[in-house]
Amino acid sequence: MGRRAGRKRWLWLRRVLSHPWGAAGLLLIGLFGLMALIHPLLMATVWNRAVYHPLVGFDPDAVPHPAPPSWRHPLGTDPMGRDVLSQLLYGARTSFLVGTVAGIITAILATAIGVIAAYRGGWADMVLMALCDVFVLMPPPVILLILGLLLEFNGLSFAVIYGLLAGLGSPAIVLRAHALSVRVRPFVDAARVAGGGSLHIIWRHLIPFVMPFSLLFMTFAASGAVLSEAILSFFGRTQIRLSWGTMIWFTQITFRWSPAGEAWLALLPPVIAITLFCSAFYMIGRAIEEASGEPYPA
């Protein structure tokens, strides 16, 4: 019986993955993961470090820089003679880190707060929800803009702070509402009568129920974090050494005085990468929403 119930519990996940957007999103994320993994391998085997290093590489044979796409440099080089493909692959690592860390922290924090507030009720509920009400008024990207003066952001610290800010806001409130709707169901009382402790009930009954919604907020937070990182890097507000956002920023400032035609092509790789990566997470979120059959209550 237990196994069957377990299988039923994961039915929503299968529905998400068989949804067109869910499958497409997962495929794209896998692709970007592969990109992030392949870069160190390429650097170690095929690519010469002096030429292809994403930060300090320089190709003396392909002058003048920026060079158009060629076999040596499939996406061309930037004005400092660095290979764009190598930068793009390296940037995938940063974005992957930012997206997954921010998403996971958001999901864990929001789930913990929502479930504890719903299960405990009373004062704990009131205090936690008052806290969340405040953080709803603080959109993470704008707060990060200010904190950028206070801290020197690298990819990891950016992701952690984004996750903390996002998780304390509306996700926790929504997850609490969902957890509350399970807590009042008879099977929770039955579990308690049968001798189940608080931890058991939270772990076996509340968390599995709110899981789809945690995952939903995880995808939205991941996509938001990657986009915010790119925007803040684009405006020069982070100390991240190389990400897709810094690539766009660098291209735009160096191409400002050149004919528009070249900037176009040079901007495309990082822009397409950011958009596809963010929409991959977003697609999965949408698929979860559609599989669970409701837009999450705001």
CB of 97 or CB of 266, closer to another protein:
266
Residue 294: other Cβ atoms inside 10 A: 7
Q: Which stretch binds another protein (CB under 8 A): 9-17, 61-69, 158-166, 229-237?
A: 229-237
Does 20 sit near another protein (CB under 8 A)?
Answer: yes
Does 262 sit near another protein (CB under 8 A)?
Answer: no
C-beta of 75: minimal distance to another protein in Å?
Answer: 17
Does 177 sit near another protein (CB under 8 A)?
Answer: yes
Does 295 sit near another protein (CB under 8 A)?
Answer: yes
Does 154 sit near another protein (CB under 8 A)?
Answer: no
What's the burial of 1, exposed, middle or buried (CB within 10 Å: 0-12/13-18/19+)?
Answer: exposed
Does 5 sit near another protein (CB under 8 A)?
Answer: no
CB of 37 or CB of 142, closer to another protein:
142
DSSP line for the chain: -HHHHHHHHTHHHHHHHHSHHHHHHHHHHHHHHHHHHHHHHHHHTTS-HHHH-TTT---GGGPSSSPPP-SSSTT-B-TTS-BHHHHHHHHHHHHHHHHHHHHHHHHHHHHHHHHHHHHH-HHHHHHHHHHHHHHHTS-HHHHHHHHHHHS---HHHHHHHHHHHHHHTHHHHHHHHHHHHHHTSHHHHHHHHTT--HHHHIIIIIHHHHHHHHHHHHHHHHHHHHHHHHHHHHTT-S--SS-HHHHHHHHHHHSTTS-HHHHHHHHHHHHHHHHHHHHHHHHHHHHHHHHTTSPPP-
Does 143 sit near another protein (CB under 8 A)?
Answer: yes
Given 121, 187, 197, 204, the residue binding another protein (CB under 8 A): 121
CB of 38 or CB of 134, closer to another protein:
134
C-beta of 42: minimal distance to another protein in Å?
Answer: 26
C-beta of 228: minimal distance to another protein in Å?
Answer: 9
Given 48, 70, 252, 258, the residue binding another protein (CB under 8 A): 252
Does 108 sit near another protein (CB under 8 A)?
Answer: no
Site for another protein in 30-49 (CB under 8 A): none
The answer to whether the CB of 35 falls within 8 A of the CB of 89 is yes
Q: How far apart are the first and last CA of the chain?
A: 36
CB of 43 or CB of 215, closer to another protein:
215
186 to 225: interface string for another protein, x by CB under 8 A: -------------------------------------x--
Residues that bind another protein (CB under 8 A): 20-21, 121-123, 125-126, 129-131, 133-134, 136-139, 141-143, 145-147, 149-150, 170, 177, 180, 223, 227, 230-231, 234-235, 248, 252, 260, 264, 267, 271, 274-275, 278-279, 282-283, 286, 289-290, 293-295, 297-298
